[in-house]
Structure 1
Amino acid sequence: MHPSFQERFDELGVLLQKTNAARAGRIDRPTPAKPVRYQVTGGSVGMYQIKDRTTGKTRAFRDNYKAAHELAMQFEVQVNRQIAVTI
């Protein structure tokens, strides 16, 4: 690897450690054990997308952020649902 690339990787690693340390100091809540799967993003003016972070695909659209957030939370509950196996 070229030395300039290695220097840049090292710089980015240091910056990432600093931001993670700063973020941990500001947030009183612990980080979740399982990462969030669905993310609400602003697709265009007045429209919000609910994206699946594992596949990168858009799952739904809403014109209200609150409605998009609630739908994303419903998707999370569906994914985290325990499947009961009866024998």
Structure 2
Amino acid sequence: MHPSFQERIDEVGELLQRTKAARSGFYSRIDRRAPAKPVRYQVVGGSFGMYQIKDLTTGKTRAFRNDYKAAHDLAMQFEAKANRQITVAL
């Protein structure tokens, strides 16, 4: 592997460790446990009166809604589907 790629990988690894440490420090300050799994879907205010539901793993927009409550409910449905266990029958 090229040395510059390895340097990049090392830098990203260090930054991820710092963010995990900062996140755990934040949760210890508010006396709560950190969530076991990170959130996958986020509601983002796009334009005036429109809300996007973004998939944080891919960065793509999954859906649009006119109402924040409807967007939040749909994001929660997407989260529930994403958290299901996949079973394979042989």
- TM-score of the alignment, normalized to the shorter chain, above 0.5: yes
Superposed CA RMSD: 2.2
Distance across 1 between alignment mates of 2:49 and 2:64: 10
Q: TM-score, structure 1 length as denominator?
A: 0.67
Look up the SS of the partner of 1:44 in the other structure: coil
Percent identical among aligned pairs is 67
Post-superposition Cα deviations, 1:32-61, rounded to whole Å, max 9, x if no partner, equal 111000000000100000000011000000
Q: TM-score, structure 2 length as denominator?
A: 0.65
Distance across 1 between alignment mates of 2:66 and 2:34: 29
Distance across 1 between alignment mates of 2:79 and 2:85: 12
Greater CA radius of gyration, 1 or 2?
Answer: 1
Distance across 2 between alignment mates of 1:44 and 1:29: 34
The runs of at least 4 consecutive aligned structure 1 residues that moved more than 4 Å come to none
Number of matched residues? 70
Question: Letter of the aligned partner of 1:62 in structure 2?
Answer: R
User: Partner residue of 1:63?
Assistant: 66
TM superposition shift of 1:29 = 3.6
Question: Letter of the aligned partner of 1:75 in structure 2?
Answer: F
Give the structure with the higher percent strand: 1
Structure 1 regions of 5+ residues with no counterpart?
Answer: 1-12
